Chains A and B, each alone.
Chain A
Amino acid sequence: MSTALAGSRWIRADLRARKGQAVLTVLAVAGIVAALITAATLLEDGTNPWRSLSAQSDGAHVWFYTGDSPEVALGGIDGVTQIAGPYRSAPVTVAQDGKREPAALRAMPAEPARVAHPLVAEGNWLDAAQPDGVVVERSFASSLRLGVGAPFTIIALSGERHTLYVRGVADTAEHGFYPEWTPGLAYVLPEMLDRIEPMMGRSEWVTGLRLADPDAAQVVSQRVVVMLEDQLQRVYTWREVRGAMELDNRLLGTLLALFGVVGLVAAALALANAAGGRVLGQLRDLATLKSMGFTRGQITLLLVVEHGALGLLGVALGALAGWGVMAAVLGPTSVAPVPVLAIVAGTALVVLAAVGLPAWRGGRTPPIPAAPASPPRGHLSRLARLALLVRLPPALVLGTRDAFTRRVPAFLTAFGLAVPMMMITIGLGVWATLDNFLSHPEQVGQHAGLYVRPGKLEAAEARRIAERDKDVAAVYPGTDVNALAPGEARSVRVRAVGSSTQPYPFPVVEGRRYARQGEAVAGQGLLDLLGIRIGDRVRLTVGGSPLIVRIVGRTVEPDQDGVVLSVGLDSLAAKDSVPPEYYALALRPGADRAEVRGRLLAESAEGLDVQAAVNPADRLSIIRVVIVALIAVLALIGLANLLTASALGLRDHAFDLAVLKAMGLTPRQVMATLVTGTGLLVVLGVGAGAAAGASVVTGLIDLQGHTSGVGAGIGRPPSPLTLAVAVVIAVGTALAVALIPARRAARAQVPVTAR
Chain B
Amino acid sequence: MSAVLKTVNLVKIYQDGAIPVPAVRGVDLQVEPGEFVAIMGPSGSGKSTLVHMLGGLDARTSGEIWLDGKRVDTLSESAWALLRRKKVGFVFQFFNLVANMTVGDNVELPALLAGVSPKVARERRESLLGALDLTDRADAAPAQLSGGEQQRVALARALANQPSLLLADEPTGNLDSRNTRDVLRLLGKVHKEGQSIVMVTHDARVAALADRVVSLFDGEVVDDGRIARRRRGTAGEVIDLR
Binding site for B on A (CB under 8 A): 1-3, 5-6, 9-10, 13-14, 16-17, 284-285, 287-298, 366-370, 753-754
Q: Which A residue's beta carbon lies closest to that of B55? A: A291
Option from B57, B115, B147, B174 in Cβ contact (under 8 Å) with A368: B57
Option from A10, A16, A293, A367 in Cβ contact (under 8 Å) with B85: A293
For A369, what are the chain B residues with a Cβ–Cβ distance below 8 Å? 92, 94, 96
A654–chain B nearest beta-carbon distance, Å: 13
Q: Are A6 and B100 in contact (CB under 8 A)?
A: no
For A294, what are the chain B residues with a Cβ–Cβ distance below 8 Å? 81, 113
Q: Are B81 and A9 in contact (CB under 8 A)?
A: no
For B174, what are the chain A residues with a Cβ–Cβ distance below 8 Å? 753
Alpha-carbon separation in the docked complex, A14 to B55 (Å): 27
Q: Are B57 and A288 in contact (CB under 8 A)?
A: no
Alpha-carbon separation in the docked complex, A32 to B169 (Å): 49
Alpha-carbon separation in the docked complex, A290 to B83 (Å): 11
Option from A1, A16, A292, A753 in Cβ contact (under 8 Å) with B84: A292
For B21, what are the chain A residues with a Cβ–Cβ distance below 8 Å? none
User: Taking A2-B112, A9-B108 as contacts, is the C-beta distance between A293 and B100 under 8 angstroms?
Assistant: no
Q: Kindly state the interface size class of chain B when it binds its partner.
A: 35 or more
Q: Are A9 and B109 in contact (CB under 8 A)?
A: yes
Q: Are B78 and A296 in contact (CB under 8 A)?
A: yes
Alpha-carbon separation in the docked complex, A298 to B85 (Å): 13
Q: Are A16 and B52 in contact (CB under 8 A)?
A: no
Q: Are B114 and A295 in contact (CB under 8 A)?
A: no
B134 within 8 A of A: no
Q: Are B101 and A291 in contact (CB under 8 A)?
A: no
B82 within 8 A of A: yes
For A14, what are the chain B residues with a Cβ–Cβ distance below 8 Å? 100
Q: Are A290 and B113 in contact (CB under 8 A)?
A: no
Q: Are B113 and A754 in contact (CB under 8 A)?
A: no
Option from B57, B96, B102 in Cβ contact (under 8 Å) with A366: B57
User: Taking A2-B114, A294-B113 as contacts, is the C-beta distance between A284 and B105 under 8 angstroms?
Assistant: no
B39–chain A nearest beta-carbon distance, Å: 16
B58 within 8 A of A: yes
Q: Are A288 and B113 in contact (CB under 8 A)?
A: no
A691–chain B nearest beta-carbon distance, Å: 40
Q: Are B109 and A292 in contact (CB under 8 A)?
A: yes
Alpha-carbon separation in the docked complex, A176 to B37 (Å): 90
What 1/0 flags go to B142-162 for Cβ under 8 Å of A? 000001000000000100000
Q: Are A292 and B113 in contact (CB under 8 A)?
A: yes
B194 within 8 A of A: no
User: Taking A5-B118, A366-B57, A369-B94 as contacts, is the C-beta distance between A293 and B99 under 8 angstroms?
Assistant: no
For A284, what are the chain B residues with a Cβ–Cβ distance below 8 Å? 96
A366–chain B nearest beta-carbon distance, Å: 7
B87–chain A nearest beta-carbon distance, Å: 9
B116 within 8 A of A: yes
Alpha-carbon separation in the docked complex, A368 to B200 (Å): 15
For B36, what are the chain A residues with a Cβ–Cβ distance below 8 Å? none
Option from A6, A9, A753 in Cβ contact (under 8 Å) with B94: A753
Option from A6, A17, A296, A753 in Cβ contact (under 8 Å) with B112: A6
B141–chain A nearest beta-carbon distance, Å: 9
A561–chain B nearest beta-carbon distance, Å: 58
Q: Are A293 and B96 in contact (CB under 8 A)?
A: no
> A9-B105, A292-B84, A369-B94 provided; 6 other pairs, C-beta below 8 A?
A5-B118, A10-B101, A285-B99, A295-B77, A367-B77, A368-B58
Alpha-carbon separation in the docked complex, A42 to B82 (Å): 53
Option from A1, A9, A287, A295 in Cβ contact (under 8 Å) with B78: A295
Give the most central of A17, A287, A367: most B CB within 10 Å: A367
Alpha-carbon separation in the docked complex, A288 to B101 (Å): 12
25 cross-chain CB contacts under 8 A: A2-B116, A3-B113, A9-B105, A9-B109, A9-B112, A10-B98, A10-B101, A10-B109, A13-B105, A287-B96, A288-B92, A288-B98, A290-B57, A291-B96, A292-B109, A292-B113, A292-B157, A293-B85, A293-B110, A294-B81, A295-B77, A298-B81, A367-B81, A369-B96, A753-B174
Q: Which A residue's beta carbon lies closest to that of B105? A: A9
Q: Are A2 and B109 in contact (CB under 8 A)?
A: no
B61 within 8 A of A: no
For B118, what are the chain A residues with a Cβ–Cβ distance below 8 Å? 5
Q: Are B112 and A5 in contact (CB under 8 A)?
A: yes
B92–chain A nearest beta-carbon distance, Å: 6
Q: Are B98 and A13 in contact (CB under 8 A)?
A: yes
Option from A289, A368, A370, A754 in Cβ contact (under 8 Å) with B98: A289
For B78, what are the chain A residues with a Cβ–Cβ distance below 8 Å? 295-297
B129–chain A nearest beta-carbon distance, Å: 16
Binding site for A on B (CB under 8 A): 48, 52, 55-58, 77-78, 81-86, 90, 92-94, 96-102, 105, 108-110, 112-118, 147, 157, 169, 174
The 10 closest A-B pairs by CB, nearest first: A293-B85, A295-B78, A6-B112, A13-B100, A295-B81, A13-B101, A2-B115, A293-B84, A288-B96, A369-B96
Query: From DSSP, what is the main secondary structure of chain A's interface residues?
Result: helix
Alpha-carbon separation in the docked complex, A289 to B58 (Å): 15
Alpha-carbon separation in the docked complex, A298 to B109 (Å): 14
User: Taking A291-B90, A292-B90 as contacts, is the C-beta distance between A6 and B77 under 8 angstroms?
Assistant: no
Alpha-carbon separation in the docked complex, A369 to B97 (Å): 10
Q: Which B residue's beta carbon lies closest to that of A297? A: B78
For A287, what are the chain B residues with a Cβ–Cβ distance below 8 Å? 96
B58–chain A nearest beta-carbon distance, Å: 6
For B85, what are the chain A residues with a Cβ–Cβ distance below 8 Å? 292-293
Q: Are A9 and B82 in contact (CB under 8 A)?
A: no
Alpha-carbon separation in the docked complex, A195 to B115 (Å): 92
A438–chain B nearest beta-carbon distance, Å: 54
Alpha-carbon separation in the docked complex, A14 to B82 (Å): 23
Alpha-carbon separation in the docked complex, A296 to B79 (Å): 10
Give the most central of A289, A293, A370: most B CB within 10 Å: A293
B171–chain A nearest beta-carbon distance, Å: 13
For A366, what are the chain B residues with a Cβ–Cβ distance below 8 Å? 57-58
Alpha-carbon separation in the docked complex, A17 to B116 (Å): 27
For B84, what are the chain A residues with a Cβ–Cβ distance below 8 Å? 291-293
Q: Are B105 and A292 in contact (CB under 8 A)?
A: no
Q: Which B residue's beta carbon lies closest to that of A285? A: B98
Alpha-carbon separation in the docked complex, A14 to B56 (Å): 26
For A370, what are the chain B residues with a Cβ–Cβ distance below 8 Å? 48, 92-94, 169
For A6, what are the chain B residues with a Cβ–Cβ distance below 8 Å? 109, 112-113
B216–chain A nearest beta-carbon distance, Å: 18
User: Taking A2-B115, A6-B112, A6-B113 as contacts, is the C-beta distance between A295 and B82 under 8 angstroms?
Assistant: yes
Q: Are A9 and B101 in contact (CB under 8 A)?
A: yes
Alpha-carbon separation in the docked complex, A3 to B52 (Å): 23
For B96, what are the chain A residues with a Cβ–Cβ distance below 8 Å? 284, 287-288, 291, 369
Q: Which B residue's beta carbon lies closest to that of A11? A: B100
Option from A5, A10, A296, A367 in Cβ contact (under 8 Å) with B57: A367
B180–chain A nearest beta-carbon distance, Å: 15
Q: Which A residue's beta carbon lies closest to that of B52? A: A368
Q: Which B residue's beta carbon lies closest to that of A14? A: B100
Q: Are B94 and A17 in contact (CB under 8 A)?
A: no
For A298, what are the chain B residues with a Cβ–Cβ distance below 8 Å? 81
Alpha-carbon separation in the docked complex, A295 to B56 (Å): 12
Q: Are A754 and B57 in contact (CB under 8 A)?
A: no
Option from B58, B97, B101, B113 in Cβ contact (under 8 Å) with A2: B113
B104–chain A nearest beta-carbon distance, Å: 10
For B102, what are the chain A residues with a Cβ–Cβ distance below 8 Å? 13
Alpha-carbon separation in the docked complex, A298 to B80 (Å): 13
Alpha-carbon separation in the docked complex, A3 to B116 (Å): 10
Q: Are B114 and A293 in contact (CB under 8 A)?
A: yes
For B90, what are the chain A residues with a Cβ–Cβ distance below 8 Å? 291-292
For B56, what are the chain A residues with a Cβ–Cβ distance below 8 Å? 367
Give the most central of B84, B94, B97, B113: most A CB within 10 Å: B113
Give the most central of B55, B81, B114, B157: most A CB within 10 Å: B81
Alpha-carbon separation in the docked complex, A731 to B235 (Å): 61
Alpha-carbon separation in the docked complex, A296 to B58 (Å): 14
Q: Which A residue's beta carbon lies closest to that of B98? A: A285
B54–chain A nearest beta-carbon distance, Å: 12
For A292, what are the chain B residues with a Cβ–Cβ distance below 8 Å? 84-85, 90, 109-110, 113, 157
